[in-house]
A and B are shown apart, each in its own frame.
Chain A
């Protein structure tokens, strides 16, 4: 178990450019989540996948944002035409699926995050 990996750790881009982040979850976790965290705030839910299916999207996820998990393993989060307001830490998390239970079912394991700075 190598944990949740995110790449790149830090991305600096100019306004209007596209950026893509990658997340590799824990291998046996079928659920994968993306969160956004701005300075001084807690993580805000963006979207999640069960295997390759995107099951829920937050209204925070504008049409410039797209997330995929094509083979049910790694996921990518793309932001098109970046704006300065997109500057944030983008966190990926994974967990085993299932509706509750005492052990493990609802515990998210987070990656270290990908920090985006839009100039």
Chain B
């Protein structure tokens, strides 16, 4: 069964510092991979997605993620974090017509 693991429950970074959020998946084929962000009281907003092709995908708000098949990973990165990036981040995996599975999330705190 497909699954998603986000090893870091909570990460704190200083404003302006770089960010990497980890995501590992378990799936038999090449999955569709997503990162969503959720601010308090808000729905989930899609940051970026990987379906095929270039393994480095660019998203909104300056985020990018790299698909590494050999490591079954899809880590999210941002070179310089802004205070407004503080939120909960979810990695998700989906395939074809099936439902998407989400990781437990990583809460990002940004220090001034």
Contacts of A97 in B (CB 8 A): 97
* Interface assignment of B17: CB less than 8 Å from any CB of chain A: no
Q: What's the minimum C-beta distance from A90 to chain B, rounded to whole angstroms?
A: 12
Mostly helix, strand, loop or mixed at chain A's interface? loop
Interface size class of B (residues with CB under 8 A): 20 to 34
* CB of A100 within 8 Å of the partner chain: yes
Interface residue count on the A side (C-beta < 8 Å) = 28
Provide the residues of chain A in CB contact with B100, threshold 8 Å: 45, 106, 108
Complex Cα spacing A99 to B51, Å: 12
On chain A, the residues within 8 Å of B105 by CB distance are: 40-42
Interface hits, A49-82 → B, CB 8 Å: 56, 58
Check B51–A110 contact: CB distance below 8 A. Answer: no
A112 and B42 form a contact (CB under 8 A): yes
Asked if A91 lies at the interface with its beta carbon under 8 angstroms from chain B, I say yes
